[in-house]
Amino acid sequence: MKQERLRFGELWQPPVDFDLDYREQNKACKHRLDALVRELGTSPETLREIGSESGEKLREIFTDTDSKVTPGYNLPKNLDKWTSLSPLHKVPLPWGAVLPDDDPTDPHRWFLFRPPFFGFLFSFIPVASDNFVVDRTLFLEASTGLVGNEATMDCGDASDFDYASAIAEAQVAFPFEAPTTGLVEVLIDAQSTIGTHRLEMEDEWGWSEGGADQHNNLMMNVLHPNVPEPSVSLMSFFRGEFEGDDAAHHRENLTSGQHYFAQLFSAGPVPGGQSVVVTVGTRTFDIADANDVELHSKSNFQWFINSVEVHIAP
């Protein structure tokens, strides 16, 4: 593979023969490699299958465990579920100052939080092999409840195997005093403003394979030692794989301006009577691999956190 890559690269050094056809020369290199592989007692298909299985196992290692991710909901299409989750949903949005069924002696009563929020939290964890560049643009305005991330993974010159991932979080934060001990349950009503998946792939030289997964979630966390990790709710997902031809994908699963909601529970209990910080926002997790494929991945998700309801789950 290395010898053929060098030979192929030399074809395009000046002075260049303008009669050379890039695709035909690429195809000739693959034929030579296929012949060599068969002489060694195997087949190109077997090697590709091994590569695909190895890539899938690596993807599973870095991907969030599915059991930790709960589904998100389109609010109008799941109105019955939304209205059954809290007594506060008996009145229309936006809510006024008087909350229905607000019993101050009930340790499991709901507390309502709306913009402006005065705290915020954000993070970014990029992982990339030599030929990938991973970056993030943060959108965060706590006073209006705006949270969002644009995550990019760009591989302009792929080798035999290149890998990248991006984890980006943007959250607003507020204090909450737990009336009793237990898990913190959170209901998030969020309005989607931007929700786009983009993926471009272009064939380079070699046994070309590649693709990307893009996930966007609403999320919550409680900043307390008993809560080891955030809780996330999947709102939009896209997966694109290289199928032998140059491709450009653009996907919008969410409706701009529409309300969506998530029901989330903290990953551990908090003690009653303690004041904790609750964070709510969005989390992007994107992952890509490229084998002789130029790849450009971009996901852009921005939300307005319209309201957050918090209580200690019964």
pLDDT in tens, 195-254: 999 999 987 655 667 889 999 999 999 999 999 999 999 999 999 887 766 778 999 999
| Structural domain range at position 36 | 2-42
Residues 187 and 38 in one domain: no
**Does any domain span residue 233?**
yes
Does the pLDDT value for residue 96 go beyond 60? no
Read off the tokens for 182. 């237990």
Number of domains in the chain: 2
Residues 19 and 150 in one domain: no
Which range has the worst mean pLDDT, 75-79, 95-99, 152-156? 95-99
Residues 207, 1: Cα–Cα separation, whole Å: 9
Token output for 105: 């002696």
107 part of a folded domain: yes
Instruction: Look at residue 84 and tell me if it is in a domain.
Output: yes
Distance of CA 51 to the CA centre of its chain: 24
pLDDT digits (tens, 9 = 90+) for 167-183: 999 999 999 999 999 99
52 occurs within a structural domain = no
pLDDT exceeds cutoff 70 at 70? yes
Q: Looking at the predicted structure, is the pLDDT value of residue 115 above 50?
A: yes
Looking at the structure, tell me whether residues 11 and 95 fall in a common domain.
no
Q: Is residue 50 part of a domain?
A: no
159 with 214, same domain: the answer is: yes
Question: What per-residue confidence (pLDDT) applies to 293?
Answer: 82
CA distances from 114 to 49, 67, 277, 307 (A): 51, 30, 15, 5
Name the band, by pLDDT with cuts 50, 70 and 90, for residue 277.
very high
Are residues 25 and 146 both part of a single domain? Answer: no
Q: What confidence category does residue 66 fall into, taking pLDDT thresholds of 50, 70 and 90? A: very low
Residues 85 and 232 in one domain: yes
Residue partners of 19: CB distance under 8 A and separation at least 6:
none
The answer to whether the beta carbons of residues 143 and 114 sit under 8 Å apart is no
**Dist CA 206 CA 4 (whole Å):** 9
pLDDT, mean of residues 285-301: 91
Pair (139, 10) in one structural domain: no
Residue 61 belongs to a domain: no
Q: Identify whether residues 145 and 214 lie together within a single domain.
A: yes
pLDDT at 131: 86
